[in-house]
């Protein structure tokens, strides 16, 4: 245990952050304030962008990024640059494949890469969302094989699930309690102390890596299930000709009512993490019911929105085929450029199946990224709102809150976010 005891002197920590996206970059900036820190990413253009002082994710403002770079933060796409480090924090994405099964290839590649430079006494901390047991059952054998070192003898692991909320400028990295864990009690204390040194909100040391992994999985699964409940209510109330938000406003007057609202559930976490938990459940012989039923409801909402809009157009005698519809917003949530797993594309594709001419405008999204990932062009500006037969407010960007939208006999306004006065629109989700 001599090697890990050396690591307990936090001042000796040389930290490498693997992955410089929404999670990794804020970590790199914060750790660089107290430790020798190198941020690593295989995407050369991303590294160049950051070294030029700009973050396209908008998670770190340009001033803070430049200050970190001026004060010694190194950002690199060269693996050799991180070989002198002794703490490696992995923040690579953990998506799902077309069959909604965990895609562990990014974790596999990162672990194999780190194994090639791992030395005795090093600590590898995973932040990527996984299923319970993934770190020790999947990642550790790769590290051992690639490094020829022995786990918990020559090197050690920790797990501290990311809790970044993209676009949230209030609940930022240092203001959210951080769950920590280690591959043995001593390592757990080291990992906890490391994060405690930068997290103002404090930390929670979990008793094992598997507990920490499970805690992350259920955080987003819980939100997903709760949202699916109100989405199902919306489907029911739509048939009863009731305004769902009016019903929720009335119900929320009770002190213990959880005031979730209906919507399209996208993003890298909420729409993905439940499948990781379900995957592990099936591995141990349990077929999850609530988790997967919630996913089915939420995954169906894009088609429901498209179908509802077509019904609204028909109600005003507006022909569906060749009608013009504008969708305001393509990101998965408001006031951020993140399009990962956005469900608005489901609305777009379904409307196109009906023969609708669909335009999409989003001042926060990157047009080239949208074209590359989603295969659709973005309008660069909107000039004539009256030229559209239908408008869907899909994302509550601040730029949209002041739009003077008002439905007419020749135009449908469908507000998915409930931000416009009810009398000005045709329907709310």
Helices vs. strands in the chain: H and E counts, helices first = 15, 13
Beta strands in 352-396 (DSSP E): 357-361, 390-393
Residues 6+ apart with CB under 8 A from 239: none
Match 């965990």 to its residue by tokens. 102
123 φ, ψ (degrees, to nearest 5):
-120, 130
Among 427, 421, 419, 165, residue whose Cα is nearest residue 307: 427
For residues 140 and 372, give the distance between their C-alpha atoms in angstroms, rounded to a whole number: 34
Give the count of beta carbons closer than 10 Å to the beta carbon of residue 67.
15
For residues 400 and 420, give the distance between their C-alpha atoms in angstroms, rounded to a whole number: 10
Cβ proximity of 161 and 221 under 8 Å: no
Give the count of beta carbons closer than 10 Å to the beta carbon of residue 109.
13
The one catalytic residue among 134, 139, 157, 269: 269
Instruction: Please say if 336 is a catalytic residue.
Output: no
**What residues act catalytically?**
269
């Amino acid at each position: 245990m001599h090697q890990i005891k050396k690591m307990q002197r936090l001042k000796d920590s040389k930290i490498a952050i693997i992955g410089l996206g929404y999670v990794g970059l804020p970590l790199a900036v914060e750790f660089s304030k107290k430790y020798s820190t190198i941020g690593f990413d295989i995407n050369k253009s991303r590294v160049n962008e950051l070294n030029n002082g700009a973050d396209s994710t908008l998670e770190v403002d340009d001033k803070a990024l430049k200050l970190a770079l001026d004060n010694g933060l190194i950002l690199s796409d060269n693996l050799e640059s991180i070989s002198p480090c002794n703490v490696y924090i992995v923040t690579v994405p953990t998506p799902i494949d077309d069959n909604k099964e965990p895609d562990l290839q990014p974790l596999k590649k990162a672990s194999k890469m780190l194994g090639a430079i791992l030395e005795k006494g090093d600590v590898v901390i995973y932040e990527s969302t996984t299923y319970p047991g993934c770190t020790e059952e999947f990642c550790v054998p790769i590290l051992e094989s690639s490094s020829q070192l022995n786990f918990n003898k020559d090197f050690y692991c920790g797990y501290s699930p990311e809790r970044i909320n993209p676009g949230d400028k209030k609940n930022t990295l240092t203001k959210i309690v951080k769950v920590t864990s280690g591959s043995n009690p001593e390592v757990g204390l080291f990992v906890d102390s490391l994060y405690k040194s930068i997290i103002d909100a404090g930390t929670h040391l979990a008793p094992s890596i598997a507990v920490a992994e499970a805690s992350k999985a259920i955080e987003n699964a819980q939100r997903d299930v709760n949202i699916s409940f109100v989405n199902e209510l919306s489907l029911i109330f739509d048939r009863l000709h009731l305004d769902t938000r009016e019903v929720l406003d009335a119900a929320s007057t009770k002190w213990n009512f959880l005031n979730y609202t209906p919507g399209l559930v996208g993003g890298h976490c909420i729409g993905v993490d439940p499948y990781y938990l379900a995957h592990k459940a099936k591995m141990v012989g349990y077929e999850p019911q609530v988790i997967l039923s919630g996913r089915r409801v939420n995954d169906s909402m894009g088609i429901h929105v498209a179908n509802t809009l077509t019904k609204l157009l028909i109600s005003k005698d507006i022909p569906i085929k060749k009608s013009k519809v504008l969708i305001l917003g393509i990101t998965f949530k408001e006031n951020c450029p993140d399009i990962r797993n956005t469900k608005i594309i489901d609305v777009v594709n379904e409307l196109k199946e009906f023969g609708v001419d669909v335009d999409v405008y989003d001042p926060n999204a990157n047009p080239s990224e949208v074209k590359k990932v989603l295969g659709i062009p973005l309008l660069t500006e909107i000039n004539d709102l009256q030229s559209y037969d239908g408008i869907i407010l899909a994302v509550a960007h601040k730029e949209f809150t002041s739009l003077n939208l008002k439905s007419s006999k020749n135009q449908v306004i469908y507000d998915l976010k409930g931000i416009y006065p009810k009398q000005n629109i045709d329907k709310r989700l």
